[in-house]
Amino acid sequence: MKLLLVEDNPAMQATLQRSFERRGMQVVTCGDGARALDRWRAAVPDVVLLDLSLPGLDGLQVLAAARAEGLATPVLILTARGTVGDRVLGLNTGADDYLAKPFDLDELEARVRALVRRGQPAAAAEAPAVCGLRVDAASGAVHLHGAVLELAPREAALLRALLARPGHAVAKERLFELVFPGQHDVQPEAIEVVAYRLRRKLAGCDAQVVTLRGLGYLLRAAG
């Protein structure tokens, strides 16, 4: 079993790494939100243990960006934020489980193993194709009629977000958060540039990106 542990507290990180390695698991550690996404993409783990309070991107931003990219790895949030509102927010962002600090290590291990068992059937199933487009859940790559579609990372993130809700409008503000996570220095209009480039990449295929003024964008069949 391979774990990605995203925790910025060195003592907690070391304790959890030792504990899981003694239980026969492989553990990759990271203490920074932005680097966590790179580690996640580079070698998709079986489970991600994700702290919410991180430098760079916070845990919820990491989670939202990963889900937008099609990374379907089960995620267990570890955090000192234990209120109901925090748990609901984490689960709605795409987390699979939530454990408040302090916690029992045996309970944490049991929850991790349960997530792996739960995630195995989902990992084996392919996402349904939409207008010939399909997201590979393991790699996050977008395929068009079985061939990998050559897209820039932001174009791919936008397309994955639209493929998650085909035929439905997705607000520009929400798309901006997914395509430019944590990049507060980028102007909101930048999403329009990414949409324009994606539209050109999809020219001639069965799908098109449609602009809905005042609402956002949607993906639908061309014609």
pLDDT, average across residues 90-106: 84
pLDDT, average across residues 144-154: 86
Domain 133-221 falls in which CATH fold? Arc Repressor Mutant, subunit A (1.10.10)
CATH architecture type of domain 2-124: 3-Layer(aba) Sandwich (3.40)
Inform me whether the pLDDT recorded for 70 exceeds 50. yes
- CA 132 remoteness from chain centre: 22
Inform me whether the pLDDT recorded for 30 exceeds 50. yes
pLDDT tens column, 99-134: 888 888 889 999 998 888 775 544 434 456 788 898
Please provide the average confidence, as pLDDT, over all residues in the chain.
84
- Mean pLDDT check: name the lowest of 80-89, 94-103, 131-140, 212-221: 80-89
Q: Which one is predicted more confidently, 181 or 155?
A: 155
Q: How confident is the model at residue 3 (pLDDT cuts 50, 70, 90)?
A: very high
The pLDDT score that the predictor gives to residue 127 is: 54
Domain ranges of the chain: 2-124, 133-221
The pLDDT score that the predictor gives to residue 10 is: 93
Q: How far apart are CA 75 and CA 83, in angstroms?
A: 18
Q: How confident is the model at residue 209 (pLDDT cuts 50, 70, 90)?
A: very high
The pLDDT score that the predictor gives to residue 87 is: 67
Q: How far apart are CA 112 and CA 205, in angstroms?
A: 41
pLDDT, average across residues 24-30: 91
- Mean pLDDT check: name the lowest of 69-73, 79-83, 93-97, 186-190: 79-83
Q: How confident is the model at residue 139 (pLDDT cuts 50, 70, 90)?
A: low
pTM: 0.56
- Percent of all residues in the chain with a pLDDT value above 70, rounded to a whole number: 90
The pLDDT score that the predictor gives to residue 123 is: 40
